[in-house]
Amino acid sequence: MPNETDALKQALELDQNGDWDGAHQIVQEIESIASYSIHAYLHRKEGDLGNARYWYRRADRTMPEYDLDQEWNVLYEQVTAGDKEPT
């Protein structure tokens, strides 16, 4: 089983490649703030804003004002930041 960082990275990459269901399946199985944030993004992308707001609240965030592409980039940077060696 991949670690959480790898799984969340995979979820974002699946979404980027058009596999919303695959991405959603991964984040449903992980209980963390990062997972909740991605879960919120996925429902925002889907257009289910009520569900998205629920997951943003679980992640202790508000729904961003910027577009989905920018949100994906922010989430990916946050998830992959754990992969980098400290400088």
Q: How many residues does the chain have?
A: 87
For residue 85, name the pLDDT band (cuts at 50, 70, 90): very low
Are the C-beta atoms of residues 61 and 37 closer than 8 Å to each other? yes
For the question of whether the overall pTM of this predicted structure is more than 0.95, the answer is no
| pLDDT beyond 60 at 31 | yes
Q: Is the pLDDT of residue 12 over 90?
A: yes
Q: Assess whether pLDDT exceeds 80 at residue 87.
A: no
> For residue 86, what pLDDT band results from cuts at 50, 70 and 90?
very low
Q: Are 5 and 82 in contact (CB under 8 A)?
A: yes
Q: What is the pLDDT of residue 1?
A: 46
User: Rounded mean pLDDT of the chain?
Assistant: 92
Q: What pLDDT is stored for residue 82 in this prediction?
A: 64
Task: Count CA atoms closer than 13 A to 50's CA, side-chain side.
Answer: 0
What is the average pLDDT across 63-68?
95
